[in-house]
């Protein structure tokens, strides 16, 4: 049953390899180019995404690179990419998530800075994740200090919100405190900072188990949509496959960022799912009895199992890395077999995996419905953490 789809992909890949066109650059009506990843710790996957982003920037028309990373913590990185400050590794070490504190992400930022320094059409770097709104909390704190209304309760609330991650708890009376704060904001910047704190509050744990996770995807989509409101804006989004796909995840309980963007933008949203063959990657591990590793570890990424989407991509790939734009493939080869739109098991991992169960952990993907393009990387190795040296996190990790 997989043979027809394998032949279709193989033919499309062979024809695309002779065209010289990168899939992400073929259609400039696309306003958002979302680039996924099967885990947060594979060097070759990061390198592929970086290459696609830089080539899209050089082709012209790309205005922003938006990362699944804290909006506030990415502000200094955006200043570096724009040429307004010098590089120091602490800029990336302070991002708040180990997944991006790597040499591979640093190389992307350096490449974007070099692009901007060349005099080409500038590209901005931003984060779209509402977690860790530290700069916003400090701006609101300063406003309350000027107004003489910064008391112990509001100080505690701002401390918690500044470090808010999905599922954290808010103190009792938080909603009332937030309403009181609005009376003391004078400038548009302070109002925007307060809005960021309100977004962070939506990430707090509640009775609805997946509500906070769903809020994060919805808020990331809102921030991407604000970027593309500007005339001529074109945004490359860096995130996990689960976030960029046009289908829910978490057993169907979480509407993904990709769903929100596809509904808002239609064909102007382009989602690339990146899949891996075998090798290893980096992640925190949860051992028996719930004990979590002290630092990210190298974890084996097993080869494609029989009947998985990765097994088809591997067989069609001829041993190399490739990107397959599905619309372009249909034009070049003809309509895809029906199997392209059926549900396939795909391997997926987040920043934390269970040593007991993760290698049997699969999600479901209907590539013809959920994605606009597929990429396959046959062999993966772990990302390279930046050396921390004497650096210490200014907040918590």
What is the model's pLDDT at position 359?
Answer: 78
Average pLDDT in the chain: 92
Rounded average pLDDT over 278-300? 92
Cβ neighbors of 253 (< 8 A, separation 6 or more) are 209, 210, 214
In this prediction the pTM is: 0.94
What is the model's pLDDT at position 390?
Answer: 62
Rounded average pLDDT over 9-21? 77
Is the pLDDT at 1 greater than 80? The verdict is no
Q: CB of 387 within 8 A of CB of 346?
A: no
Strands 32-35 and 124-129, bridge-based pairing: unpaired
Rounded average pLDDT over 8-26? 72
Rounded average pLDDT over 360-365? 88
Which has the minimum average pLDDT: 111-120, 263-272, 286-295? 286-295
Residue 205: which pLDDT band, with cuts at 50, 70 and 90?
Answer: confident
Question: What phi and psi, each to the nearest 5 degrees, are found at residue 89?
Answer: -60, -25
Residue percentage of the chain with pLDDT more than 70: 94
Report d(CA 127, CA 96) in Å as an integer.
Answer: 12
Report in angstroms the alpha-carbon separations of 351 from 195, 283, 365, 392.
28, 5, 20, 21
What is the model's pLDDT at position 122?
Answer: 96
pLDDT digits 0-9 by tens, 73-115 = 999 999 999 999 999 999 999 999 999 999 999 999 999 999 9
In sign, the C-alpha dihedral spanning 274, 278, 283, 287 is positive
Residue 183: which pLDDT band, with cuts at 50, 70 and 90?
Answer: confident
Domains of the chain: 3-131+210-380 (3.40.50), 134-201 (no CATH)
What is the model's pLDDT at position 184?
Answer: 86
Q: CB of 256 within 8 A of CB of 365?
A: no
Is the pLDDT at 28 greater than 80? The verdict is no
Residue percentage of the chain with pLDDT more than 90: 79
Which has the minimum average pLDDT: 104-113, 177-186, 345-354? 177-186
Which has the minimum average pLDDT: 181-195, 311-325, 366-380? 181-195
What is the model's pLDDT at position 66?
Answer: 98
> Encoding tokens for residue 169?
């708890």
pLDDT digits 0-9 by tens, 230-254 = 999 999 999 999 999 999 998 889 9
What is the model's pLDDT at position 361?
Answer: 81
**Tokens 């930046």, residue located:** 386
Is the pLDDT at 19 greater than 60? The verdict is no
pLDDT digits 0-9 by tens, 330-340 = 999 999 999 99
Is the pLDDT at 391 greater than 60? The verdict is no
Q: What's the chain look like in SS3?
A: CCHHHHHHHHHHHHHHHCCCCCHHHCCCCCCEEEECCCCCCEHHHHHHHHHHHHHHHHHCCCCEEEEEEECCCCHHHHHHHCCCCCCCHHHHHCCCCHHHCEHHHHHHHHHHHHHHHCCCCCCEEEEEECCCCHHHHHHHHHHHHHHCCCCHHHHHHHHHHHCCCCCCCCCCCHHHHHHHHHHHCCCHHHHHHHHHHHHHHCCCCCCCCCHHHHHHHHHHHHHHHHHHCCCCCCEEEECCHHHHCCCCECCCCECCHHHHHHHHHHHHEEEEEEEEEEEEEEEEEECHHHCECCCCEEEEECCCCCCCHHHHHHHHHCCCCEEEEHHHHHHHHCCCCHHHHCCEEEECCCCEEECCCHHHCEEEECHHHHCCEEEEEEEECECCECCCCCCCCCCCC
Is the pLDDT at 397 greater than 50? The verdict is no
What is the model's pLDDT at position 392?
Answer: 60
């Amino acid at each position: 049953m997989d043979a027809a789809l394998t032949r279709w992909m193989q033919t499309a890949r062979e024809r695309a390899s002779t065209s010289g066109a990168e899939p992400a650059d073929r259609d400039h009506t696309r306003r958002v180019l979302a680039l996924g990843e099967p885990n947060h710790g594979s060097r070759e996957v990061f390198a592929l995404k970086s290459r696609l982003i830089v080539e899209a920037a050089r082709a012209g028309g790309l205005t922003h690179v938006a990362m699944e990373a804290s909006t506030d913590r990415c502000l200094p990185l955006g200043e570096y990419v724009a040429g307004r400050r010098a590089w120091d590794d602490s800029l990336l070490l302070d991002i708040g998530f180990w997944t991006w504190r790597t040499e591979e992400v640093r190389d992307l930022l350096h490449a974007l800075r070099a692009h901007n320094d060349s005099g080409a059409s500038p590209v901005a770097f931003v984060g779209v994740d509402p977690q860790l709104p530290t700069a916003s909390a400090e701006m609101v704190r300063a406003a309350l200090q000027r107004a003489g209304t910064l008391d112990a309760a509001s100080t505690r609330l701002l401390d918690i919100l500044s470090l808010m991650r999905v599922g954290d708890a808010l103190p009792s009376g938080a909603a009332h405190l937030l309403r009181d704060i609005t009376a003391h904001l004078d400038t548009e910047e302070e109002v925007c900072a307060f809005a960021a704190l309100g977004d962070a509050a939506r990430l707090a744990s509640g009775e609805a188990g997946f509500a906070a996770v769903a809020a994060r995807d919805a808020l990331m989509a809102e921030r991407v949509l604000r970027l593309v409101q500007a005339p001529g804006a074109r945004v490359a989004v860096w995130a996990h496959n689960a976030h960029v796909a046009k289908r829910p995840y978490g057993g169907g309980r979480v509407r993904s960022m990709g769903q929100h963007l596809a509904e808002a933008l239609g064909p102007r949203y382009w989602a690339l799912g990146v899949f891996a063959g075998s090798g290893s990657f980096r992640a925190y591990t949860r051992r028996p009895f719930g004990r979590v590793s002290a630092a990210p570890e190298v974890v084996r990424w097993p080869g494609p199992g029989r009947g998985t989407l990765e097994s088809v991509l591997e067989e069609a790939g001829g041993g190399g890395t490739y990107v397959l734009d599905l619309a372009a493939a249909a034009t070049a080869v003809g309509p895809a077999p029906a199997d392209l739109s059926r549900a396939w098991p795909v391997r997926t991992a987040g920043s934390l995996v269970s040593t007991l169960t993760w290698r049997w952990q699969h999600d479901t993907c209907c590539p013809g419905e959920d994605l606009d393009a597929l990429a396959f990387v046959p062999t993966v190795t772990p990302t390279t953490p930046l050396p921390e040296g004497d650096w210490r996190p200014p907040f918590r990790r």
